[in-house]
Structure 1
Amino acid sequence: MLDLIPVILILIATGIIAGFFAGLLGVGGGFLMVPVQYLLLIDGGIDPTYAIRIAFGTSLAVVFPVSCAAAWAHEKRGAIDWNAAFPIGIAGILGGFAGGTLASHLPVDILKILFGVLVILAAIRMVRDTPASGGTTRSGLGVWTLTGIIAGLLSGLLGLGGGFILVPMLLLIFNLPIHRAVATSSASILFFSIGGIAAYMFHGAMIEELGKGFLGYIDIFQWMVLTGAMIPLSRVGVATAHRLPSERLKMIFAIMMVGIGIGMIGIFP
């Protein structure tokens, strides 16, 4: 097992980077946290089947407080569309719980491939399709609810905050401007994470092999270090996002998604 200090340093570095991009892109940061946590857990002797679920569950547990900080920063700039965020988010609670429950029963190889393929496809769609510069949120409650269920389900299933699914949907389906989509996503994933966290805590509590230091599938130590590092940087990311041109922000989002997706499919054990 790795010495504690290197592990802490790795987690802090991960939290700093993930926190910045969580604020910048309206995501939870799971795209980076999950692969790093998974590798650390494997190196620490955790069975891969449990390691991937712990990484997903802990990532979602970190997402909640980090998203609170990011959403507050976006709200102060008046960027969140609450008409969309509330119905999407509330529907996403149920989707998140269902996704977390499904992930607790799927084989590790399937989860890794799903994680990688999903973020790559979302990146390709975002680069190829150019949404309108304006956009409207005058959609029916049913449309917002369905969007929330789908995004929440994938969020809980893959340990992501949901931004990697929701931001492209807001851009490509509803034609929201990138800055407004990022802000609205930050608010919505507050709700998504609640359902996923509940599922991972419930199903992980049944695994006796995990022992002390875990709250279900949530690694308490990793949660504390990552959350402490991410929250301050998420606010920096929000401020940066509102200064970047739309196309540059979208390209940064897509490049990072592709890199992480390829790594999760073909590199990580």
Structure 2
Amino acid sequence: MDMDLIFYLMMYVSLGAVVGFLSGLLGVGGGGILVPLLVSIFTYQGIDKDNIMQMALGTSLACSLPITATSAYSHHRKGAVLWQIVKLVSPGIALGSLMGIIISVNIDGKYLALFFAFFMMMVALKMFSNWQPKSKEKPMLGFSSIISGVCIGIISALISVGGAFFTILYLTYNNIDLKKAIGTSSAIGFVAITLATFGYLFSSPQSINITYSLGYIYLPALVLVTLSSVIMVPVGASVSHDLPNKRLKQILGVICVLLSIKLLYSMF
């Protein structure tokens, strides 16, 4: 077997292990961690820079599916998923995902990298602060849930996350108990990531000819990252119980900043 191929396969296994551990440790789906590192590996592999950001986003979304599905199912078993809210926002998510995919495949990957880095900096800022939105008096209803779904769908497609950061804030603002907000957010994230993944699967132009890829999803990375990440999630979750919440948030904030800088360095 080609030594370069073996090296890249080992890189994907190692990447999955790191992402799985951090996902279990910090309670994140992994997309924010995966994208910058996939961009770096794809760059070393010589994948065309014109498509590298889209390839990283699509592959990252596909890798995140098992983690978000497991999380949603776990919360559902504990009765922490408000399925009525999931149904309310799902039409908006479908529309937002379509809009996000159209934007993603029609703009320069450098602009996607800038948007991704900006979003991750916002997450880092939130991790270092105790800010929470004040709840309003009435629960979420109707049109606002459609708009929120559109926003979550667009964000998921453009930066490979399920929108949990904004979803939890939005649900708690609408007087949803925090534990149920987290559980419902995981189910909403699964819907958003699934739709966005299918978008990247079928949206790549015919001119792209990258071996072992389907659409904007690179299959070797998908298989190896997924397998090794699933193995390491319980390890990270176990370690997380020995660390205070404040320290976990600070770790996530630092990681978000470092990976944003790394992504911008790789793209520019």
| Smaller-chain TM-score bracket | 0.7 to 0.9
Determine the C-alpha separation between the residues in 2 that align with 1:39 and 1:87.
38
Determine the C-alpha separation between the residues in 2 that align with 1:224 and 1:9.
12
Q: How far apart are residue 118 of structure 1 and its match?
A: 1.1
Query: For this pair of structures, how many residues does the alignment match?
Result: 267
Q: Match for 2:184: what amino acid?
A: T
Structure 1-normalised TM-score? 0.82
Determine the C-alpha separation between the residues in 2 that align with 1:126 and 1:220.
33
The answer as to 2:16 corresponding to 1:15 is: yes
| Paired position in structure 1 for 2:112 | 111
| Paired position in structure 1 for 2:188 | 188
Q: Is the contact made by 1:38 and 1:55 (CA closer than 8 Å) also made in structure 2? A: yes
Larger Rg: 2
Q: How far apart are residue 233 of structure 1 and its match?
A: 3.2
Q: How far apart are residue 13 of structure 1 and its match?
A: 2.1
The CA deviation string for residues 64-121 of structure 1, in whole angstroms up to 9 with x for no partner, is 2221122223333444343444433453232122212211011121111110011112
Q: How far apart are residue 169 of structure 1 and its match?
A: 4.3
Determine the C-alpha separation between the residues in 1 that align with 2:71 and 2:42.
28
Q: How far apart are residue 166 of structure 1 and its match?
A: 3.2
Structure 2-normalised TM-score? 0.83
Q: Match for 1:185: what amino acid?
A: S
Secondary structure at the counterpart of residue 66 of structure 2? helix
The CA deviation string for residues 130-156 of structure 1, in whole angstroms up to 9 with x for no partner, is 338999993113223222210210110
Q: 1:109 to 1:133 in 2, by over 3 A?
A: closer
Q: Match for 2:212: what amino acid?
A: G
| Paired position in structure 1 for 2:218 | 219
Determine the C-alpha separation between the residues in 1 that align with 2:11 and 2:226.
13
Comparing 141-150 and 99-108, the one that deviates more: 141-150
Q: 1:145 to 1:156 in 2, by over 3 A?
A: same
> Where do 1:6-85 residues align within 5 Å?
6-85=7-86
Q: Is the contact made by 1:115 and 1:261 (CA closer than 8 Å) also made in structure 2? A: yes
Q: 1:18 to 1:221 in 2, by over 3 A?
A: same
| Paired position in structure 2 for 1:228 | 227
Structure 2: 5+ residue stretches without partners: none
Q: How far apart are residue 260 of structure 1 and its match?
A: 2.1
Q: How far apart are residue 126 of structure 1 and its match?
A: 4.9
> Where do 1:236-247 residues align within 5 Å?
237=236, 246-247=245-246
Determine the C-alpha separation between the residues in 1 that align with 2:37 and 2:122.
21
| Paired position in structure 2 for 1:255 | 254
Give me the CA root mean square deviation.
3.2
Identity of aligned residues (%): 26
Q: Match for 2:194: what amino acid?
A: I
Q: Is the contact made by 1:62 and 1:223 (CA closer than 8 Å) also made in structure 2? A: yes
Determine the C-alpha separation between the residues in 2 that align with 1:81 and 1:88.
11
Structure 1: 5+ residue stretches without partners: none
Q: How far apart are residue 7 of structure 1 and its match?
A: 1.6
Q: How far apart are residue 192 of structure 1 and its match?
A: 0.6
Determine the C-alpha separation between the residues in 2 that align with 1:245 and 1:184.
24
Q: Match for 1:231: what amino acid?
A: V
Q: Is the contact made by 1:21 and 1:234 (CA closer than 8 Å) also made in structure 2? A: yes
Secondary structure at the counterpart of residue 89 of structure 2? helix
Q: Match for 1:34: what amino acid?
A: V
Determine the C-alpha separation between the residues in 1 that align with 2:111 and 2:53.
11
> Where do 1:74-153 residues align within 5 Å?
74-131=75-132, 138-153=139-154
